[in-house]
């Protein structure tokens, strides 16, 4: 029964993920256009998350987590926000397909600092020529 319910709800979860990513994309576009610096956007969303926790419920507040985490990684990475997401894309692209679910699980639990550190390590590996060159 639980499997049937999860299968029925999967499109809603996917839609929520898509909306969160669209929001992150808009935040990056606003940052890059100079209209809304990413640190100010993160600060405003953190305020609204607190507002939701106090006026709605902790469950509503918790839904801000993945979006805020993505924006914090982009803000704290020290690179342009779009570059941060290109690095995440590289992380997924260099992961074997059978391990991508594990990567997504780790990314959902890792702190922004852990993600940023691992991305920097990955870039270092990608930039270094392999020892067995032609």
- Tens digit of each residue's pLDDT (9 = 90 or more) over 95-121: 888 888 888 888 778 877 787 787 777
Strand intervals (E) in 15-79: none
Give the start-to-end residue ranges of the domains of the chain: 2-127
pTM above threshold 0.75: no
Task: Note the pLDDT tens digit of each residue in 66-91.
Answer: 888 888 878 877 668 888 778 778 88
Cα 110 to Cα 106: distance, rounded to the nearest angstrom = 6
CB 112 within 8 A of CB 71: no
Count Cβ atoms below 10 Å from residue 46 Cβ, excluding itself. 14
**And the tokens for 76?**
């704290």
């Amino acid at each position: 029964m639980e499997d049937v319910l999860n299968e029925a709800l999967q499109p809603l979860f996917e839609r929520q993920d898509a909306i969160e990513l669209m929001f992150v994309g808009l935040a990056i576009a606003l940052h890059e256009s100079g209209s809304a610096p990413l640190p100010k956007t993160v600060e405003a969303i953190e305020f609204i998350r607190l507002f939701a926790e106090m006026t709605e419920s902790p469950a509503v507040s918790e839904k801000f987590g993945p979006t805020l985490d993505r924006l914090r990684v982009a803000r704290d990475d020290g690179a342009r926000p779009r570059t941060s997401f290109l690095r995440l894309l590289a992380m997924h692209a260099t992961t074997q397909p059978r391990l991508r679910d594990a990567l997504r699980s780790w990314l959902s639990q890792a702190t922004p600092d852990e993600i940023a550190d691992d991305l920097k390590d990955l870039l270092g590996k990608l930039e270094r020529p392999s020892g067995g060159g032609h």
